[in-house]
């Protein structure tokens, strides 16, 4: 039991060490004069903030990404790629490169985040992830570039490739000062970006499962895949409908019905984890802003590059709340029984996430309302949700944050990206089964 706890602790140290090393290297690279093309000098804190946001694939910025030099933009793209795939790919490559084979501990590190049913061939897992990622990003970049051409844009393929990497890694960084606002209503650009976001947010487990089903290697998709697809479809449809209804006479007022539907769909896609925007979030109605909060909190699927507590976790919490625990101490869904242990783990995970998020909101409420400065509470809540869900959408608060406020947002991004993954690593129970136990206690609920 003790050795298993040591292994989990060691895996977490590897995870934190990898991300901290990336952030450190990225900060140093972005602090170089060659990385910045703006008129004023870039501060170290802003370099650090950009590195944390890129590695945590969030997209929140304190300075305009378009002001970085070509070298700086390449650094950001590399940080996004390494950060997006770090947990399930690059960290394993780092462990495997010095040796001929991956150790049992390293393989377990991969399987903890990948899926429990993966029992061997960690190298094959990594190779599959890397190849799939590169393929999707290159094809996506080609379609985005063609969309540029059809829209009469001057941007080249390198520009399209940056946005493809940012979209598939669900980062939301853009080389355009107004993000994708100039392509609002341009389906040739919005569609490939949305598809890349969805694919990156589904997770490699789901993509592999769907591929096996399509090629006939498996007869049916796994329960995990079915829950991810169902939950994602419900969220996309419900959020898309909500944004269309709330903004038809708002930010979508100048668009045709078709473009309004496209804009609402794109908003429902990017809100859950990506952070791209074709309309200004600050100009959206209050109901739309409130609708965005739970979507950012939920995020994408486990084993994906997306952030949030994950769609399967939210699904299980809602399912157990609506149906309750049956006599077999579980919940039945799709002719399968989900154990009470799994449901309890999902509830615990959401509770930890909510406590971390509330801590961020409380601290920002203190730092951003001192020395005569007053900040709208909704902006603080929105920014905290965005940072924690590694989404990157903003009401405009981040660039004007105090130094302490920027540090809090950085810690929130790190907690939302790395802390939640660390918390998701299964830990052996501290308690042994006992034949004789203490008396059962009664506590009133509600």
pLDDT value at position 224?
Answer: 86
**146 and 178 housed in the same domain:** yes
Residues 151 and 266 occupy one common structural domain: yes
Q: Which residue range is the domain that position 171 belongs to? A: 122-306
174 and 268 both lie in a single domain = yes
Task: Decide if 443 is inside a domain.
Answer: no
Per the domain annotation, does 219 fall within a domain?
yes
Same domain, 208 and 300: yes
Last residue of a domain, one of 261, 287, 306: 306
Look at the chain and report how many structural domains it folds into.
Answer: 3
The pLDDT, as a whole number, for residue 240 is: 96
Percent pLDDT > 90 in the chain is 53
Predicted local confidence at residue 264, as pLDDT: 95
From the DSSP assignment, how many helices (H) and strands (E) are in the chain?
A: 17, 2
* Residue 430 in tokens: 């501290």
Q: Which residues in the chain come in under a pLDDT of 70?
A: 1-11, 87-123, 327-328, 371-372, 420-438, 440-442, 444-446
Q: Are residues 152 and 28 in the same domain?
A: no
Does some domain include residue 442?
A: no
> Are 417 and 322 in the same domain?
yes
Average per-residue pLDDT in the chain? Answer: 84
**For the domain that residue 37 is a member of, what is the CATH number?**
1.10.287
> In the prediction, which pLDDT does 275 show?
87
Summarised one tens digit per residue, pLDDT across range 319-344 is 888 887 776 677 888 888 888 888 88
Same-domain check for residues 83 and 126 = no
> What is the signed CA dihedral for 97, 12, 126, 195, rounded to 10 degrees?
-140
Are residues 4 and 93 both part of a single domain? yes
In a domain? residue 270: yes
Same domain, yes or no, for 326 and 291? no
> What's the pLDDT score for residue 217?
81
pLDDT tens readout for residues 186-236: 999 999 999 999 999 888 888 888 888 888 887 888 888 899 999 999 999
User: What letter does residue 279 receive in the DSSP assignment?
Assistant: S
Query: Do 3 and 71 belong together in one domain?
Result: yes
On whether both 300 and 327 belong to a single domain, the answer is no
Give 284-287 contacts, CB < 8 A, sequence gap 24+.
284/246, 284/247, 284/250, 284/251, 285/246, 285/247, 285/250, 286/378, 287/242, 287/246
- Is the residue at 355 inside a domain? yes
* The pLDDT of residue 436: 62
Domain boundary among 277, 306, 335: 306
Tally the C-alpha atoms within 13 A of residue 169's C-alpha that lie toward its C-beta. 36
d(CA 62, CA 160) in angstroms, rounded, equals 23
Q: Are 381 and 344 in contact (CB under 8 A)?
A: no
Together in a domain, 15 and 43: yes
Residue 325 lies inside a defined structural domain of this protein? yes
Q: Is residue 115 part of a domain?
A: no
The last residue of one of the domains, among 104, 131, 165, is: 104
Residue 323 domain-assigned? yes
């Amino acid at each position: 039991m003790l050795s298993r706890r040591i292994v989990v602790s060691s895996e977490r140290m590897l995870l934190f060490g990898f991300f901290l090393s990336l952030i450190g290297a990225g900060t140093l690279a972005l602090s170089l004069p060659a990385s910045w093309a703006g008129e004023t000098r870039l501060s170290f804190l802003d370099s650090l903030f950009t590195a944390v946001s890129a590695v945590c694939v969030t997209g929140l910025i304190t300075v305009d990404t378009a002001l970085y030099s070509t070298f700086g933009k390449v650094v950001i793209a590399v940080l996004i790629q390494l950060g997006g795939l770090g947990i399930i790919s690059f960290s394993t490559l780092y462990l495997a490169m010095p040796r001929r084979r991956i150790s049992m501990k390293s393989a377990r590190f991969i399987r903890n985040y990948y899926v429990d049913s993966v029992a061997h061939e960690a190298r094959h897992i990594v190779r599959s992830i890397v190849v799939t990622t590169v393929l999707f990003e290159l094809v996506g970049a080609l379609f985005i570039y063609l969309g540029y051409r059809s829209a009469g844009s001057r941007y080249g393929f390198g520009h399209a490739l940056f946005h493809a990497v940012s979209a598939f890694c669900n980062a939301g960084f853009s080389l355009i000062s107004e993000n994708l606002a100039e392509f609002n209503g341009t389906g040739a650009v919005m569609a490939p970006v949305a598809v890349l976001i969805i694919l990156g947010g589904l997770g490699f487990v789901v993509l592999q499962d769907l591929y096996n089903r399509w090629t006939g290697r498996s007869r049916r998709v796994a329960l995990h895949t079915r829950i991810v697809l169902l939950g994602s479809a419900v969220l996309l449809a419900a959020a898309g409908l909500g944004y269309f209804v709330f903004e038809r006479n708002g930010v979508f007022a100048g668009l045709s019905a078709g473009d309004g539907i496209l804009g609402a769909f794109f908003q429902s896609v990017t809100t859950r984890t990506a952070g791209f925007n074709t309309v200004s979030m600050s100009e959206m109605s209050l109901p739309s802003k409130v609708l965005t909060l739970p979507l950012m909190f939920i995020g994408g699927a486990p084993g994906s590059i997306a952030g949030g507590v994950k769609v399967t976790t939210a699904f299980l919490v809602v399912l157990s709340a609506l149906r309750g625990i049956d006599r077999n101490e579980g919940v039945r869904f799709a002719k399968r029984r989900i154990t009470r242990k799994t449901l309890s783990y999902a509830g615990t995970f959401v509770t930890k996430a909510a406590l971390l998020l509330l801590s961020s909101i409380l601290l920002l409420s203190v730092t951003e309302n001192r020395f005569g400065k007053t900040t709208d509470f909704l902006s603080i809540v929105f920014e905290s949700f965005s940072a924690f869900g590694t989404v990157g959408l903003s009401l405009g608060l981040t660039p004007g944050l105090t130094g302490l406020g920027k540090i809090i947002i950085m810690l929130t991004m790190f907690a939302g990206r790395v802390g939640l993954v660390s918390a998701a690593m299964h830990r052996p129970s501290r308690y042994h089964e006992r034949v004789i136990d203490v008396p059962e206690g009664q506590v009133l609920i509600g």
